[in-house]
Amino acid sequence: MVFRKYTEAEKEFIRSFAFGHSHQEITDAFNERFDPPIGANQIRAYLKNHKILTGRTGFFEKGHVPANKGTHTGGWEPTQFKKGNTPANHKPVGTESVRCNYKKGQKYLYVKVAEPNRWRMKHILVWEKHHGPVPKGKIIIFLDGNVLNTDIDNLMMIDRSVHARMNQLGLRSRDPEITRTGAYVAELVTKVSEVKKR
């Protein structure tokens, strides 16, 4: 872009005409009076560099009446969901799905338990079916390390503190019995640590 040296007449015109007009309006009016013509970007830059305000914020003023007021003819109704409509991707209650648990960063098996879209982890449901609700502060672990194996024999309930100790001491295995033993060891170490603190 070639640098333009504005004359005093051009500068005065821009200063006096700018307020209340858009950049394009200022450009069009400028080009009607002066040569050579310039673009809206040049006007925008000139206004910015010389701190000349147009008074326009880009927002509608209070009380503004939209140009299309009263012209709405509809047209969206045919595509609107009707009451009782079932979407094509609807999943019935009981559907199982492998999903990523973003809090834990791992994939788990989920089951749809209620409409319209309530899902729960399957291993929790399996545990509750056999042993009742999981108390606060407890978690269910997978003895073989496979989070998709929700067989009740592969599940064990432990304290969160024991879980942390198992992770700390590396007391996990793909062998369920070794992991179960690791959980007992972690529980013992945790209790010994608690006693020492007293």
Rg from Cα positions in the chain: 35
CA distance 37 to 28: 9
| CA separation, residue 11 to residues 4, 5, 14, 29, 111 (Å) | 12, 10, 5, 13, 71
> How many Cα atoms are found within 13 Å in the side-chain-facing hemisphere of 194?
9
Summarised one tens digit per residue, pLDDT across range 110-166 is 999 998 889 999 999 999 999 999 999 999 999 999 999 999 999 999 999 999 999
* 10 alpha-carbon distance from chain centroid: 51
Quick one: DSSP state of residue 174?
Answer: S
Of 150, 186, 190, nearest in space to 171 by CA: 186
Peptide bond into 36 cis (omega under 30): yes
Summarised one tens digit per residue, pLDDT across range 74-121 is 666 666 666 767 777 888 898 999 888 777 678 889 999 998 889 999
Residue 155's H or E segment, with its range, is strand 155-159
CA torsion, ordered 159, 160, 161, 167, to nearest 10 deg: 110
